[in-house]
C-alpha cells in the first residue's frame, strides 16, 4: 500500500493543456479502447461514466493473471472498472454523482489508480437527471461547486468537470467562473446546450468567447460531426480557441483519428482492438458493441452478418483471423487462474 501511495505522490500532475483526449463514452471507454486510443496518439483517455453508488460498493483487487487492478462488485463478482499500469499516468475517471461526501469517498478509493477525476455535469439522459447527476448539476451550480470544492480540497489528483454550454453566453461564462473558483484543473465543455442533440450544429463560437473570458484550461468537445482525420481535431481546437480537445463519436467510429500519420484501415484497427480485448479478458458483448461501431454499414455484408451472430470473443476473433491467438491466450489465462471476467457472458 505504501508503495502505491508513494507512486501516486511521485507521479507528475496531469497537465490538461494542449492535449488530445478520448472523451468519456459509456460502453466505449473500457480498458481495451482506452489503450488503443493511447497507442494511436491520444494524450489522455477518459473512462466511461461510472456511477458513484456502484464504485463505492466495489472492492479493489489485483488481478495478477491479467496484470490489472479490478474494482469488483462484491454482490455478483462483476468488474465495475478495470485498469492497468500502462494507462495510469494518462487516465481520467469520469464519475456520475450528486453528492459531495459520496464523491469524495469514491475519489479516495480510486486516486492511486488514476491521474484525474472528472465529474459528469452534462449528461441529459433521464437516469442522470432523475438522480440529480449530469446536466441536473448545471441547474444547481451551488451543489456542483460544493462537489468540486470538496474533491479539490481533499484529493491528491487533479479534479475536472465536463459541462454543456447554457443557452446564454454570459450565463455560461458565469458558470465556468464559479466552477473554476473551486480549484478544478480544467473544464471540459460540450459546445451544445442540454437540449441540443448530436444532429444539431455545435457552437464553437461560444467556446471561443468562454475561453477568452476565463483563465482555466478549456477542453473543447462536440466537434465530431466535422472530423474525419487528425487535422480536423486541430481545426476544431483552433476554431474554439481551446487549450485542448476531447473527441467522442469520431473516435468511437475510428480511434485512429488520433494518429498523426493518418487513419489505419478498419480491419487493422479491429484486429488491434480485438487483441487487446483478448489480452485483458474484455466482456464479449462489450467487444461486440465496439466492433459494431467500427463496422457501421458493413454489418450488412455477409461477413458483417456472420459477426452479428457471434456470442463469444473466440467467435469474433475467428472472423479477424485471431482464432488461434484467442484460444492460446484464454488457455493461458485459465492456467494462471484469472477469475475476473469483466462481466458474465450473455
- Taking CB under 6 A as the rule, does residue 123 contact ligand FNR? yes
Q: Which residues pair with 218 in a beta bridge?
A: 187
Beta-strand relationship, 68-72 and 20-22: unpaired
d(C-alpha 41, C-alpha 155), whole Å? 28
- Taking CB under 6 A as the rule, does residue 224 contact ligand FNR? yes
3-state secondary structure of 218: strand
3-state secondary structure of 268: helix
- Taking CB under 6 A as the rule, does residue 204 contact ligand FNR? no
Q: Which is nearer to ligand FNR, 291 or 326 (CB)?
A: 291
Closest distance to ligand FNR from the beta carbon of 224 (Å):
3
Buried b (16+ CB within 10 A) or exposed e, 195-208: ebeeeeebbbebbb
Catalytic residue status for 123:
yes
- Taking CB under 6 A as the rule, does residue 162 contact ligand FNR? yes
- Taking CB under 6 A as the rule, does residue 165 contact ligand FNR? no
Helices in 92-162 by DSSP H: which ranges? 100-110, 126-130, 141-154
d(C-alpha 222, C-alpha 213), whole Å? 20
Q: Which residues pair with 96 in a beta bridge?
A: 51
Closest distance to ligand FNR from the beta carbon of 237 (Å):
12
Q: Which of 14, 19, 20, 24 is close enough to bind ligand FNR by CB under 6 A?
A: 24
Element (H, E) at 83: strand 79-84
Q: Which of 248, 270, 291, 326 is close enough to bind ligand FNR by CB under 6 A?
A: 248
Q: Which is nearer to ligand FNR, 162 or 288 (CB)?
A: 162
- Which listed range, 2-10, 136-144, 221-229, 275-283, lies at the site for ligand FNR (CB under 6 A)? 221-229
Q: Which is nearer to ligand FNR, 66 or 270 (CB)?
A: 270
Q: Which of 124, 204, 223, 284 is close enough to bind ligand FNR by CB under 6 A?
A: 223
Q: Which one of the listed residues 84, 123, 277, 290 is annotated catalytic?
A: 123
- Taking CB under 6 A as the rule, does residue 172 contact ligand FNR? no
Q: Which of 68, 97, 115, 120 is close enough to bind ligand FNR by CB under 6 A?
A: 120
Element (H, E) at 175: helix 169-180
Closest distance to ligand FNR from the beta carbon of 265 (Å):
22
Q: Give the residue carrying C-alpha cell 493511447.
A: 38
Q: Which is nearer to ligand FNR, 190 or 288 (CB)?
A: 190
d(C-alpha 121, C-alpha 144), whole Å? 8
Q: Which is nearer to ligand FNR, 122 or 158 (CB)?
A: 122
3-state secondary structure of 232: helix
Catalytic residues: 123
Amino acid at each position: 500500500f505504501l508503495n502505491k501511495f508513494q507512486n501516486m505522490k511521485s507521479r507528475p500532475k496531469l497537465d490538461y493543456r494542449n492535449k488530445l483526449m478520448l472523451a468519456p463514452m459509456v460502453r466505449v471507454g473500457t480498458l481495451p479502447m482506452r489503450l488503443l486510443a493511447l497507442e494511436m496518439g491520444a494524450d489522455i483517455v477518459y473512462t466511461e461514466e461510472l456511477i458513484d453508488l456502484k464504485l463505492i460498493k466495489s472492492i479493489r483487487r489485483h488481478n495478477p493473471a491479467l496484470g490489472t487492478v479490478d474494482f469488483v462488485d462484491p454482490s455478483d463478482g462483476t468488474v465495475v472498472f478495470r485498469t492497468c499500469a500502462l494507462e495510469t499516468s494518462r487516465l481520467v475517471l469520469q464519475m456520475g454523482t450528486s453528492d459531495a461526501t459520496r464523491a469524495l469517498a469514491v475519489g479516495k478509493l480510486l486516486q492511486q489508480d488514476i491521474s484525474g477525476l472528472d465529474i459528469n455535469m452534462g449528461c441529459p439522459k433521464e437516469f442522470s437527471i432523475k438522480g440529480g447527476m449530469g446536466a441536473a448539476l448545471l441547474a444547481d451550480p451551488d451543489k456542483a461547486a460544493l462537489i468540486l470544492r470538496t474533491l479539490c480540497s481533499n484529493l491528491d489528483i487533479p479534479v475536472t468537470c465536463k459541462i454543456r454550454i447554457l443557452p446564454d453566453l454570459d450565463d455560461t461564462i458565469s458558470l465556468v467562473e464559479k466552477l473554476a473558483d473551486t480549484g478544478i484543473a480544467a473544464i471540459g465543455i460540450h459546445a451544445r446546450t442540454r437540449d441540443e442533440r448530436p444532429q444539431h450544429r455545435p457552437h464553437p463560437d461560444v467556446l471561443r468567447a468562454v475561453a477568452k473570458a476565463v483563465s482555466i484550461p478549456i477542453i473543447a468537445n462536440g466537434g465530431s460531426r466535422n472530423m474525419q482525420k487528425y487535422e480536423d481535431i486541430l481545426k476544431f481546437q483552433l476554431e474554439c480557441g481551446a487549450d485542448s480537445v476531447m473527441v467522442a463519436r469520431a473516435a468511437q467510429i475510428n480511434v485512429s483519428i488520433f494518429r498523426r500519420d493518418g487513419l489505419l484501415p478498419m480491419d487493422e484497427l479491429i484486429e488491434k482492438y480485438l487483441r487487446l480485448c483478448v489480452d485483458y479478458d474484455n466482456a464479449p458483448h462489450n467487444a461486440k458493441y465496439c466492433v459494431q461501431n467500427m463496422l457501421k454499414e458493413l454489418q450488412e455484408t455477409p461477413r458483417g452478418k456472420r459477426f452479428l451472430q457471434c456470442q463469444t470473443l473466440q467467435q469474433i476473433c475467428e472472423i479477424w483471423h485471431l482464432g488461434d491467438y484467442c484460444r492460446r491466450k484464454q488457455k493461458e489465462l485459465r492456467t494462471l487462474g484469472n477469475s475476473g471476467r469483466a462481466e458474465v457472458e450473455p
